[in-house]
Amino acid sequence: MKFCESCGAKLPENAVFCEECGTPVAEAGAAADMPEESPATKGTASGFCENCGAPIHGTSRFCEECGAPLPESADAGSSMAAGSAAAGDTKKLASAFNAGTKAGWEDAWRNIARSAGDDLGLILTNMEQLASDFNTSIDEVRSTLIDIMESRRNDGVTYALIDINNNAIDSSDGSDVERNVGLLSTIVNVARPRYLMIIGNENAINVATWDNQSYDGDEQVLADLPYATLDCTSPWEGQKFNLGDAMRVGRIPTYSGESISELRDYFIRVEKYSGKINTIVPFGLSALVWKDESNALYKGISSDRCKTSPNVKNEGVLGEIPAGANLLYFNLHGSDQTKFWYGQEGGTYPTAFSPEAVASLNAPYFIGVEACYGARYTDGLTKSDSIVMSALSSGCLALMGSSMIAYGTSQEPGCCADVVIGRYIKDIAAGCTAGDAYINAIKELTSKSDLDDAEIKTLAEFSLYGDPSVSTKKRHTAGKLFKAFGGVKKGLHVPMPDIHRAVHAKLVQVDAKIAGNVQKSVYTKYAGFEGTEPKFFQMSNTGMLQAAFEKTDGMMKQVLKVYFDDKGKIKKEYHSK
């Protein structure tokens, strides 16, 4: 008789996977030989594995032949049994891949996606952390996630559950993000999913942190980008990405003290409304100083003009949003010190939107927001502190926003945040999934050959929140696999956007006359920055010079980046949101 090295359970002679924990059984040396268990001890079959048809003995939790999870008992409810098999709950999935059973798992995945029209996706989470946040049991979390997967499958999206606590990836020499990306890379080699839905905050599934090389007051940039590209390298380092092959990633943040019913309610709304919004009812709200650029973007979804703040303030904003509004665009300021988004006129920054305001909206709607810190949710924030979490707890199906200081312009053509959010809301209105709209947005941002430091920061800091497979209209992608998948024998190769050279900014001294002319131009055009001394940098990839002006207005960080050539001619100006 053999025993599992992982959990010590008895193993039948020909078992490939442990019945108790799902760990693959090594061919030699992994388990101690013991006398053969008699048929009477083993017992008769109590059922058959829905994945491979092998007999189930006693109270086995995993199939001894293929490692697939089994219903809790032979008479388990049909919902649980169907959910486990159809949704593809994949405990010890990475171990199975590493044990040389990729072909078996590829067949299993095909069996999971029985419908030819299904899109494939992964749910990446940490059930132990979710149980702690929700103050409930892991069994309750698992049951909820299985119900969620079944509900999404009704919409033609087959998700498989990946619990990071149940894999054999060694994380001793890498960060959590690197470990998670390694796990996903192994799975993508076989499963080739289109969507990745992360459930949990940074304590459950960590976010990447990169040193910020767009010097503006943010020491680091928080990003979910590595989960899309399967590459943890800083995007400032000049690697090339192929975003067409990237997974469509969305995160549903959770927080300590949240009720698990809120997670269920979100997916009830998703099932009810995703793909069933044929008439777009838009709403736009802009800081007054950015109204021209905001209206240029808003034309992509509406024939009207954006409302502006200070004309619209938080206390009256609900009265300005039309009944049934389902696509909301915000070009406002944000802060890492408060929960509000702000308008602006001159040096006045009135509160324009809040978690309380968004919580009063009814389902369903999508949000695109340009604000600095427009999608902040980390460091213990709850839905009362965070607009993105409050939105997902009310009627929002998906939101795209920034984790850090973001940039844009007041006039056409827009840049940075203007580009990504303008494309995102246009694609959402057209019926693209939120995940496709997100990828299309950052592809458009990175479409030129040389990016500057602020554009790369925009690539890193903007992420999608919500289920990436949701859409207003019927999904365009249903039943379509990526072209890149055809004929790929060794998995996806997702090296990242076409950034040809590393983009670093180094401090430099600029000719006094040129520096003086640049400052004079800035003080004339932006009176609020008068007296603010800039720092001068030079871009490593283009040689272009940059003057960075920083100031603080109360809770608001204000950054102005002015790019100019060696003759002092100003080429472009970016203003923080």
| Alpha helix segments (H runs only) across 2-92 | 39-42, 78-87
Of the candidates 305, 302, 303, 308, the one whose C-alpha atom is nearest the C-alpha of residue 326 is: 302
Do 436 and 443 meet the contact criterion of CB atoms below 8 Å apart? no
Close Cβ partners of 163 (under 8 Å, ≥ 6 residues apart): 91, 125, 126, 127
Helix, strand, coil in percent for the chain, rounding step 5: 30, 20, 45
Return the pLDDT at 37. Answer: 36
Structure-token pair, residue 37: 């268990």
Return the pLDDT at 173. Answer: 52
Do 405 and 216 meet the contact criterion of CB atoms below 8 Å apart? yes
Do 540 and 502 meet the contact criterion of CB atoms below 8 Å apart? yes
State the pairing for strand pair 570-576/535-539: unpaired
Residue 508, number of CB atoms within 10 A of its CB: 11
Q: Classify 564 as helix, strand or coil.
A: strand
Distance CA 253, CA 381 (A): 10
Q: How far is C-alpha 423 from the chain's CA centre?
A: 17
Question: CA quadruple 82, 87, 92, 94: dihedral positive or negative?
Answer: positive
Burial environment of residue 33 by CB neighbours within 10 A (0 to 12, 13 to 18, 19 or more)? exposed
Distance CA 93, CA 51 (A): 14
Return the pLDDT at 35. Answer: 32
Return the pLDDT at 192. Answer: 73
Q: Could you give the angle at which helices 127-134 and 138-153 cross, rounded to 10 degrees? A: 110
Distance CA 271, CA 570 (A): 50
Do 349 and 225 meet the contact criterion of CB atoms below 8 Å apart? no
Close Cβ partners of 315 (under 8 Å, ≥ 6 residues apart): none
Return the pLDDT at 120. Answer: 83
Return the pLDDT at 160. Answer: 82
Close Cβ partners of 250 (under 8 Å, ≥ 6 residues apart): 195, 196, 197, 198, 398, 434, 435, 438, 464, 465, 466, 467, 468
What is the pTM for the complete model shown? 0.79
In degrees, rounded to 5, the angle at the alpha carbon of residue 369 between the alpha carbons of residues 258 and 374 is 50
Close Cβ partners of 556 (under 8 Å, ≥ 6 residues apart): 333, 335, 342, 349
The CA-based dihedral angle spanning residues 282, 287, 292, 298, taken in that order and rounded to the nearest 10 degrees: -10
Distance CA 575, CA 554 (A): 17
Total number of residues shown for the chain = 577
Distance CA 433, CA 242 (A): 19
Return the pLDDT at 16. Answer: 56
Return the pLDDT at 73. Answer: 36
Sheet holding 570-576, edge to edge: 407-408, 570-576, 556-564, 545-553, 535-539, 505-507
Q: How far is C-alpha 519 from the chain's CA centre?
A: 39
Q: What are phi and psi of 54, to 5 degrees?
A: -70, 150
Q: Could you give the angle at which helices 453-461 and 417-430 cross, rounded to 10 degrees? A: 40
Helix (H) or strand (E) holding 270: helix 260-273
Q: If you search the block for the tokens 């690697």, which residue do you land on?
A: 239
10-residue stretch averages of pLDDT, the chain, 577 residues long: 59 61 47 33 45 54 59 35 37 43 52 57 92 94 92 86 67 72 78 89 93 90 93 82 84 95 96 94 96 95 96 96 96 95 92 97 93 95 96 96 95 92 97 95 87 93 97 70 36 42 82 95 90 92 91 85 94 93
Side-chain half-sphere exposure of 361, counting CA atoms within 13 A: 31
Distance CA 123, CA 112 (A): 15
Return the pLDDT at 282. Answer: 97
Structure-token pair, residue 545: 């010079």
Close Cβ partners of 566 (under 8 Å, ≥ 6 residues apart): 514, 543, 545
Query: Does residue 69 have a cis peptide bond before it, meaning omega lies within 30 degrees of 0?
Result: no
Of the candidates 438, 436, 328, the one whose C-alpha atom is nearest the C-alpha of residue 391 is: 328
Return the pLDDT at 38. Answer: 33
Label each residue of 459-506 as H, E or C: HHHEEEEECCCCCCCCCCCCCCCCHHHCCCCCCCCCCCCECCCCCCEE
